[in-house]
Structure 1
Amino acid sequence: MALFASEAQANDFPTVDRVLFIEECMALKNSRKYETLYSCACTIDKIAAHLSYDEFVEADSYVRMRNARGERGGLFRSSDKAREIRKRYFNIKDQAETACFPMGNKPIVASTDNGAEKGAEDKTGE
């Protein structure tokens, strides 16, 4: 029994962080439907299967801070480590969303090959 407990806890994310991820995912999808809730929950579960919580926090920080201005932002934006971490995170997230969102019904914000995000700014040009 202890083997299963330690294995289950190894990549277990705090509930509040799962909820925040799901809420953000649903907001990006602009949907409060149960199907979206389920797909977003599935996505974070799949991410948690591939990243430890600490790896997730680090990757999320690099993604969110890459648009920070000035020298501090450069660390999150331009370093080889930043690019590698973002690329790995976006690959895992894209695979999770592909598996969890039926018929390609993914959230509006998705990764691109260069590690940047496309989304709301792309929609304005339609």
Structure 2
Amino acid sequence: MTPRCCVLTVLACISLVSPLSFGAPAQGHNYSTEGRVEYVLSCMDDNGHDFVNVYKCSCAIDKIAQTLSYDDFVEQSTFSKYATLGGEGGAEFRVDRAKAQTRKFRELQRDASKACGIGKQASAAK
């Protein structure tokens, strides 16, 4: 399967089925489709490109969307993504505010992953 085909499959699945409620729209803040797809693809990069992870990773972004506005999600996930960026370019990601945002996002992401059965904590529970 080509990478483009995988992306199209993920898009189709996300648009047709909500993993939490099987068809009902997810409750929470309104996130762009692109933002949700980027999160799901990144989550699948980290946890495997198995079909079941489409649902698990979609569940996780739904959980995050229940808590954070899209703007807060973008800010916190950006700080988290670049928290380990070295040199002068990464300095703004190492200030106290950035560290606090990174900590909040990683905790929220960890809770969402646990609730949706993603990662090592889900495997250990089996």
> Same fold judged by TM-score > 0.5?
yes
Whether 2:21 is the aligned partner of 1:17: answer no
Question: Which residue number in structure 2 is paired with residue 101 of structure 1?
Answer: 117
CA distance in 2, matches of 1:26, 1:72: 28
1:63 to 80, 96, 108: 80
Unmatched runs of 5 consecutive residues or more in structure 2? 1-25
Question: Which residue number in structure 1 is paired with residue 5 of structure 2?
Answer: none
User: 1:44-101, CA deviations, whole angstroms, 9 ceiling, x for partnerless residues?
Assistant: 0000111100001101111122233322311102x11011101110111111111001
Q: Write the letter of the residue equivalent to 1:81.
A: R
Question: Which residue number in structure 2 is paired with residue 122 of structure 1?
Answer: none
Q: TM-score when scaled to structure 1?
A: 0.68
Q: TM-score when scaled to structure 2?
A: 0.68
Whether 2:90 is the aligned partner of 1:73: answer yes
Question: Which residue number in structure 2 is paired with residue 90 of structure 1?
Answer: 106
8 A contact 1:11–1:49 mirrored in 2: yes
Q: Write the letter of the residue equivalent to 1:94.
A: R
8 A contact 2:31–2:70 mirrored in 1: yes
CA distance in 2, matches of 1:21, 1:82: 20
Identity over aligned residues, as a percent?
33
Unmatched runs of 5 consecutive residues or more in structure 1? 1-7, 107-126
Please identify runs of 4+ aligned residues in structure 1 that moved more than 4 A: none
8 A contact 2:80–2:106 mirrored in 1: no
Whether 2:45 is the aligned partner of 1:27: answer yes
Question: What is the Cα-based RMSD across aligned positions, in Å?
Answer: 2.2
Question: Which residue number in structure 2 is paired with residue 48 of structure 1?
Answer: 65
